[in-house]
Amino acid sequence: MTPTFFDKIAGAPKAELHIHIEGSLEPELIFKLAQRNGVRLPYESIEALRAAYAFTDLQSFLDIYYAGASVLLHEQDFYDMTMAYVERALADNVVHTEIFFDPQTHTERGVAIETVVAGIERALADGEKRGLSSKLILCFLRHLSEESALATFEAALPLFDQYAHRLVGVGLDSSEQGNPPSKFARVFAKARERGLKLVAHAGEEGPPAYVEQALDLLKVDRIDHGVRSIESPTLVKRLADTRIALTVCPLSNLKLCVFDDLKQHTLKSLLAQGVAVTINSDDPAYFGGYVNTNYLATVEALGLADAEVYTIIRNGFEASFVTPAARDALLAKLDAYWRSH
Ligand code: ADE
Ligand code: ZN
């Protein structure tokens, strides 16, 4: 691996399609907001909090992730969190990002969904002026009830109109095992009726059958993670044939012990079988890096070649929820860059 190949990847224009904005809260900002808002944290210091980031599975991470998000109370907090991510994305040459947020994490603490979206939107509008285009995706927490998801969707209806340029879809995240996509078929049907884009976490810790449910019952446009799809050759063929993209997050998979070693990651094999794989950061403040770190670690561990990395970056733009004209412009930007480097 020559340094110039790393430099080429780091400098390439990229899309990020799987980033939880609450997962971009760095420990320093958590402590700053806790102080600003008078929120008591169960950790004595930034170092103590960071030391707790030794996860054994998805749930062990989610417990700390929801505790971290408890410092977010005011519109300015959501702005500051999102702006910090915008800076990181720009530094990594991300030119388009599609951001998840978890309204129930905040509404359950009495923070209005309008406050959440207004703060995120203000930062994304500022990011747009600096060359980062973006979309926003509202995620339902799957460990909560269907009723809670339906109520969240109803509460968000005016926001889908007010922020139609930004808030383009719904997703499904949180504890996967035991909370299959089928639990949310009705709320996804409502979102589909409104013409919203649909995504769902599936096949991260859950079985290939959950990916199939997300496709068949939720009718999603993309699968978040989906790495366990590899256990079903029929499913891999289906993903390849339909070009339903997987938003893969290699460092997340490593930190949450989906794979013991990045060298065991199945991304390269999925790609070789024709699946539209993309690389993303998931919760970069918790998993050791933003999008470029994910690319570089994966390229190093799996020995990805120039053409493979080009395809992965291209897949990110092709699977994005921008207009066809915007997609063509992003792809042209990538091609001009890749040709000249
Ligand atoms: N919420 C934030 N990160 C998540 C992940 N990796 N899986 C499920 N839910 C999440
Ligand atoms: Zn995720």
> What tokens appear for 336 in the block?
């001009």
Q: Whose CA is nearest to atom 10 of ligand 1?
A: 174
Note the pLDDT tens digit of each residue in 274-323.
999 999 999 999 999 999 999 999 999 999 999 999 999 999 999 999 99
Please determine, for residue 37, whether its predicted confidence score (pLDDT) is greater than 80: yes
Return the ligand 1 atom nearest residue 22 CA.
2
In the residue annotation, 204 being an active-site residue is answered as yes
Report the amino acid identity of residue 292: N
C-alpha span between 265 and 74 (Å, rounded): 39
* % residues pLDDT > 70 (the chain): 99
Phi and psi torsions of 262, nearest 5°: -60, -25
Assigned token pair, 312: 């992965």
Task: List, for residues 167-210, the tens digit of each pLDDT value.
Answer: 999 999 999 999 999 999 999 999 999 999 999 999 999 999 99
pLDDT digits (tens, 9 = 90+) for 99-112: 999 999 999 999 99
Averaged pLDDT of the chain: 98
Distance in Å, CA 328 to ligand 1 centroid: 30
Q: How far is CA 46 from CA 20, 23, 30, 35, 228, in A?
A: 21, 16, 8, 12, 34
CA-closest residue to ligand 1 atom 4: 174
* Residues at CB less than 6 angstroms from ligand 1: 20, 23, 58, 65, 173-174, 201, 204, 252, 282-283
Which domains does the chain show, CATH number per domain? 3-340 (3.20.20.140)
pLDDT-based confidence at residue 3 (cuts at 50, 70, 90) = low
Residue pair 78/118 in contact (Cβ under 8 Å)? The answer is yes
Residues found in the chain: 341
Tokens, residue 87: 């800076």
pLDDT in the model for residue 2: 56
Nearest CA to 16 out of 326, 324, 337, 321 is that of 321
Q: Model's pTM, two decimal places?
A: 0.98
> Which atom of ligand 1 is closest in space to residue 174's alpha carbon?
9
d(Cα 47, Cα 234) in Å, to the nearest integer?
46
- Which of 21, 173, 257 for a ligand 1 pocket mutation test, highest count of atoms within 8 Å of Cβ? 173
pLDDT at residue number 312: 99
Other CB atoms within 10 Å distance of the CB of residue 272: 10
pLDDT tier for residue 268 given thresholds of 50, 70 and 90: very high
Mean pLDDT to the nearest integer, 217-227:
98
Is 18 annotated in a binding site? The answer is yes
Ligand 1 nearest atom to the CA of residue 139, by list position: 1
- Tokens found for residue 8: 């080429």
